Structure 1
Amino acid sequence: MRVDLVSDDLWERVAPLLPPAPERRHRYPGRLRVSDRVALTGVMYVLWTGVAWRDVPAEIVGCSGVTAWRRLRDWTEAGVWPRLQAALLTELRRDGLLDLDDCAVDGSRVRALKRGDHVGPSPVDHARPGSKHHLIVDRHGTPLAVTLTGGNRHDVTQLLPLLDAVPSIRGLRGRPRRKPRRLYADRGYDFDKYRRLLWKRGIKPMIARRGVVHGSGLGRVRWVVERTFAWLHHFKRLRVRYERRADLHLGVCRTIG
């Protein structure tokens, strides 16, 4: 019995963005190529179950885990996931489901069992190798961009790169949106230098002050980024980093986000 984790709606959005399949040779065609939809099902199966690629049951998914991993690699190198994210954000904005006026940022550390790119000693995990997800979301908690660094990088150092990673979001008449009007963050981002840089970009910093008693009220808006992290880290493939290559791990993040 095969599983189908790729709905028709999802496939209609993904299929136009995938690179064309290579042409088969006429004299020595080899085995028939696994369809892209089946390979995407294999990728989604790994995300949902958290199993290793080599343990993907071909009789259930329709392809081996190695095939799914290779297709994920090819799609990531072809830039499929950023284009898919931009298309989905545009659709959400067109339907009035995206609020870009108020955004929130935060970072979260994850274990990196196999090391690899963007891995560093985690200061809160006995210097074990780890990475950190940096996330910006809209008022409703919809992910706008995610970046990956070593576990020893400070959150505030990635504030501007995270803002630069937000794609141009269309969907309404006028110029596309790429930045919020107000940006909410916790005390880890409380540096006057970055407040000035945000003002220079036309963004009002709503950052909690260090050394001030809790109760500023900013958490009424900022809590959505914590909830989004909880959603993302519900998947074991994101809660623990297994991929050595940073681009593949980010590709997995964007697939779920």
Structure 2
Amino acid sequence: MPAVPSSIIDPIWRQFAALIPPVSDTHPLGCHRPRIADRIVFDKLIQVLVLGASHAKIADSTCSASTLRTRRDKWITAGIFDELEQICLESYDRIVGLDLDNISVDGCIVKAPCGG
């Protein structure tokens, strides 16, 4: 069962896929395991975010936890998530509208009872 309906995730994936830089195969012999598809990794990362599970719990025979973390780190370094965030905010603003005039942030840091 998908973590998010396809009507929501497919448009996000299309935007995300357009931002992924092309991958060049630099192996001198070209004889290594095939690369896990970006869509599989993207779907697994969405599951991690939506379900709040660890990478190890989401990993299965299609994609390992280390592949999830490595690809996530590469995409963060490339700035893909920052660009996708801006695209999502602009789309939401066009469709629904954002009222960012009166925003306040509240937070509190306290010591955990009984030492956490």
Normalising by structure 1, report the TM-score. Answer: 0.38
Q: Determine helix, strand or coil for the equivalent of 2:107.
A: strand
**Which of 60, 76, 79 is the matching residue for 1:58?**
60
Q: Which has the higher strand share?
A: 1
Greater mean deviation of Cα atoms: 21-30 or 11-20: 21-30
Please give the residue correspondences for 1:128-167 in structure 2 after superposition, counting only pairs within 5 Å.
none
Q: How many residues align?
A: 113
Taking every aligned residue pair, what percent have the same amino acid on both sides?
A: 27
Alpha-carbon distance between aligned partners in 1 of 2:21 and 2:114, rounded to the nearest angstrom: 41
2:111 is matched with 124
CA offset digits 1:56-106 (Å, max 9, x no partner) = 3424xx311221111111111221221111111122223352112222212
Counterparts of 1:31-50 in structure 2 under 5 Å?
31-50=33-52
1:254 aligned partner: none
Aligned to 1:95: 95
Aligned to 1:76, the other structure's residue is in SS state helix
1:68 aligns with 2:68: yes
- The alpha carbon displacement at 1:107 in A equals 2.3
| C-alpha displacement of 1:10 | 1.4
Structure 1: 5+ residue runs without aligned partners?
A: 110-122, 130-257
Deviation digits for residues 103-125 of structure 1 (CA, Å, limit 9, x no counterpart): 2212265xxxxxxxxxxxxx331
Unaligned runs of 5+ in 2: none
Is the helix fraction higher in 1 or 2? Answer: 2
**Contact persistence 1:92–1:98 (CA under 8 A):** yes
Residue 27 of structure 1 deviates from its aligned partner by: 1.8
Separation (CA, whole Å) in 1 of partners of 2:77 and 2:103: 29
Native 8 Å contact 1:42 1:64 kept in 2: no
Q: Which moved more, 1:2-11 or 1:24-33?
A: 2-11
TM-score, with normalisation over the residues of structure 2? 0.75
The 5 Å alignment of 1:90-239 reads 90-107=90-107, 123-126=110-113
Q: Tell me how large the CA RMSD over aligned residues is.
A: 2.8
Contact 1:43 / 1:68 at 8 angstroms: preserved in 2?
Answer: yes
